[in-house]
Amino acid sequence: MATSRTTTTIKAASTRNLTTIALFKSMIGKVETNSDEYLNWAVRAASAALDGACRRVFARESLLDFFRADSCIAALVLSRPPITNIWAIIDPGISAVALASAMDASQTTLPATVALTGSFPFKAVLDAGASLEVVTVLSLQSGTTYNVARGVNGNAVAHASGAACTVAMDPALYEIDAAAGIVRKIDGAWSEGATSVLYTGGYLLPGDTNRDLPWELEDAALRYMRYMWFSRERDPALRSAGEPGLSNQTWWIGPPGESSNLPPDVEAILVPYRLPLTY
């Protein structure tokens, strides 16, 4: 059995920084601004290093995970736990219809070429790729023109005539393990073929309203920044230095036998957050 997963960012976070420069400055007792350019780089570098070490991005974003399986699979493992919302799932075998005419970003009527199948209200996905938008189909206006609520997933964009419109899977047909980022079908396995999941996942970061990033992850980012800060002006390969009668110094140079560039205490914090190599 082979399953592949590709991820497209639909709506990116304003920042992926796992801590703030202000907090780091208070930690090291620094108030002047002459190092802010370096610290702006360091907080981004440290955050990216933690993301990379855990094989995930921690920031909350709206995403499209596209799965392709050559046989039935028990569960879909999404790329960005924890899951905040699943906006729409498109299951294999669901046929798309085309838009009969173009839609602008604020238009609240959806003109389809043929009738959509669903009990009102239901979700539908417009377009493809980074232009994906989820709408709620509220009612039939006339013929094959529907009244819709736009930008359900926070993404309201213009769509050209002929763009695909696909009715989403009924949420009653699947269940979600939000913390683990796993979606299972109620009545069995996911069919072979292509399945798309449009959702929002990840954490609100320091500086966001109602941040929910685990405190230990921010601690890991601060610890790594501290290593970076205090090693700026020394030889990173230095293992020890000393003279008779004077104090000796020994520098950390990496966990023995491992390729990680992260300090051991940072690595220890990250262990429960590292995702397996599933895809």
State how far the Cα of 114 lies from the Cα of 209, in Å rounded to an integer: 43
Q: Which three-class secondary structure state does DSSP give residue 131?
A: helix
pLDDT digit string (tens) for the chain, length 279 residues? 578 999 999 889 999 999 999 999 999 998 788 889 999 999 999 999 999 999 999 999 999 999 998 888 899 999 999 999 999 999 887 889 999 999 999 999 999 999 999 899 999 999 987 788 999 999 999 999 999 999 998 889 999 999 999 999 999 999 999 999 999 999 888 988 889 999 999 999 998 999 999 999 999 999 999 999 988 776 555 555 666 555 566 555 544 334 567 999 999 999 999 998 765
State how far the Cα of 87 lies from the Cα of 124, in Å rounded to an integer: 9
Stated pTM of the model: 0.86
| H-helix or E-strand spanning residue 42 | helix 36-53
State how far the Cα of 134 lies from the Cα of 156, in Å rounded to an integer: 8
Q: Whose structure tokens read 């991005």?
A: 57
Phi–psi pair at 219, nearest 5 degrees: -60, -40
Q: What is the DSSP letter of 81?
A: P
